[in-house]
Amino acid sequence: MKKLFIILLFVSLYCFGKSPSPKLIVFISIDQMRADYFERYNQYFTGGFNRLFSKGIVYTNADLNYAASETGPGHATLGTGCYPWKSGILANEWVEHKTLKEMYCVSDSTAKSVDSVGGGNSPRNLVVTAVGDWLKQQTPTSKVITASFKDRAAILMGGKNPDYVFWYSKSVGGMVTSDYYSKSLPQWVKTFNASNWPEKNVPAEWSKTLADSDYSKIGPDEYAAEAKRKETTAFPYSFTIGKKAEELGGSPYGDKIIVDFAMDAVKNEKLGQRNVTDLLCISLSNCDYVGHAQGPDSHEMLDLLVNVDRYLGDFFSFLDKNIGKDNYVVALSADHAVCPLPEFNTEFRNVSAKRYIYAADIKPKTDTLNSKLKLELNSSEDILIKNAFINYSAGTKAGLDSIQLEQKVKMGLLSIDAFVDIYFRRELVTREKSDKLFIEKYRNSYYAPRGKDYLYRIRENSIISSRPYGTTHGSPYSYDTHVPLIFWWNNATPKKITREVHSADAAPTLAKFAGFSFPKNLDGVPLKEVVK
C-alpha cells in the first residue's frame, strides 16, 4: 500500500506540477546590447525590459565564449546552440581560400527576389540546424517566423527550414525575403509594406524622451569621437519627409517597425493560437547602429534603449491580450556587445585605450612586413595574402618549414603596436590543452574549412577603425562578449544568477522548456534554473 501511495504521489507531481508547453516561444536578440545596460539604465525602464529584468530569470554573467563577436556568428549561435566552429558562421564575411573572394555569411546567388524585391540571401552557409528546425521536426505544423532589420540576423536565427524570414529594405520601406523561403509575400506582408509605415510612424525629428538631467549623468551630448548624423552629434535629429524609409536606421524607429511587424505576424499567422507551439524570433538591430556611431556611453544609446523598452512593453501587453499571459515564454539575449569609444575611455574613465586607423596604422606596416618577407625568402610572390593566408609554398622553396615561417610572420605582426598575439591554424584546429590566453575562445570561433591561416588579437580597450569616429566590436574581451541572457514566463520565480553561462545555452534551454528534443552535439546546454 505504501509503495502504491509513493507511485501515485510521483504521478500526481508529474501530471500537475509539470508546466504545459508554451503556445508561443518569443526569442529576442538586441543587436550589440551590453549586459551592463540593465544595471546602468534599469531605473529608466518601465516596459518590456523592466518586466524581463524584474520578473524573469536573469543570468548576469552570460558570455559568448568565442572570439568572433560579430552579428553573423552571434545570431547563428543564439539560434543553433553551436559556436562558430560547428555552425560554419565564423564571421560576417570571410575570404574563400580557393578564389580569394569575399563571402558574405548569408549570401546566396541562387536565392531570387520575391515579388520583385529582396532575394540574394539564404541560410545555405549555415551547416547545422536551429531551434526552429528542432521544433518543426517534432511538430511539423508549428510555425517558425523571424524578422529583423538585418538580413543576416533574421536568416541565421531562423535556421534551415523556417516558414518565413523577413528583413527590412530601405527601398521598400518594409519587409522582404528571398524565394528560399517563399515564392510570394503573404498578403498581410504586402499590406504592411503598402501602408507607408515610415512616413506615417516616424516623426519629424528624433528628440530626447527623458529629462536633460538624466542624460547629462552619462557625459556630453556633443562629442567629437561620435559619428555625425545629418551634420551633428547632438539631439534633436531631423527626418526628411519622403525619405524616412532611408533615414530611420540608427534610430528607435528602426526597431519600432520590426516590433509592429511582429505583432502583425502574430495576428495574421495566428501564432500561439493554434494548439501547437510556434516560434517567433525578433532581432532588433538599431542598438548596433547607434553603438557603432555614437558609442555605448552616448545620450543616443540611452534614448534608444528607453524607447525599445517601451516598444517591448507594448508588445508583451499585446501578447498578454491576444495569446494569454500564461501561454508564452520569452528569451532575450544579444549577438555581441561593444567596446566603448577609445577617446571616451581615456577621457572619462582613465582607461588606456587607442584607436588605430587601418589605412594609416595597420596596412602600411603589414605591407612593409610582406615586402620584407618576400625579400628574405627571395620570393616574387606575396607571403601574406589578403591578411588571411600565408604562402607556405614560398617558405618551402626558401628552405623554411611551416613553423619557422609562422614564427617570422608572428614576429613581424607583433611588431605592430595594435596586435598582442597571433593564433595559427595548427593551434586552432586542435582541442589539446593550451595555456595560451584566449585560445579557447579563438578555437570556438574557428571553422576550419573557411578559416584563415592566422587570427590576431588586438590590444585590449582598443579598436581598429577606418574612421576617426565611432566604435566597433569583434574582440574576445568581456566588453565585446558579455551579453544579457534572460528568460521570462508568467509566474516564473525571479532570480539573478551569477554563475557563468553562455549565449549558446539559450536555444537548448528553450527547447527543453517547451518539451521538444534537440541535437546532442551542441555547445550550449539547458540551464537548470529554467528547466529543472
**According to the CATH classification, is domain 20-92+106-339+476-514 in 3.40.720.10?**
yes
Contact 397, 405 (CB under 8 A): no
Beta strand pairing status for 102-104 and 462-465?
unpaired
Following DSSP, what letter does each residue of 419-472 receive, concatenated?
A: EEEEEEHHHHS------STTHHHHHHH--GGG--SEEEEEPTTEEEESSSS---
Question: How far is the C-alpha of 133 from the C-alpha of 281, rounded, in Å?
Answer: 13
* pLDDT recorded at residue 20: 63
Q: What is the pTM of this model?
A: 0.95
- Residue 196: left if φ>0, alpha if ψ -120 to 50, beta else—which one? left
Residue pair 156/128 in contact by the 8 Å Cβ criterion: no
Q: Which candidate, 77, 16, 137, 178, places its Cα nearest to that of 447?
A: 77
pLDDT score for 488: 98
Burial level of 107, CB count in 10 A (0-12/13-18/19+)? middle
Q: Is 16 exposed, middle or buried (0-12, 13-18, 19+ CB in 10 A)?
A: exposed
Three-class DSSP category at 346: helix
Strand, helix or coil for residue 3: helix
Fold designation for 354-460: Gyrase A; domain 2 (3.30.1360)
8 A C-beta contact, residue 206 and residue 241: no
The CA-atom distances, in angstroms, between 392 and each of 60, 159, 399 are 45, 37, 11
For the chain (length 532 residues), average pLDDT per consecutive 10? 40 40 97 97 98 98 98 98 98 96 97 98 98 98 98 98 98 98 98 98 98 95 94 95 98 98 98 97 98 98 98 98 98 98 97 97 98 97 95 97 98 98 98 95 98 98 98 98 98 97 98 97 97 88
What's the pLDDT at 324?
98
Other Cβ atoms within 10 Å of 241 Cβ, number: 9
Strands 174-176, 495-497: pairing kind? unpaired
* 96: helix, strand or coil: coil
Residue located via cell numbers 548596433: 288
pLDDT, position 288: 98
What are the boundaries of each domain within the chain?
20-92+106-339+476-514, 354-460
Question: Residue 199: left if φ>0, alpha if ψ -120 to 50, beta else—which one?
Answer: alpha
Could you give the 3-state DSSP secondary structure of residue 106?
coil
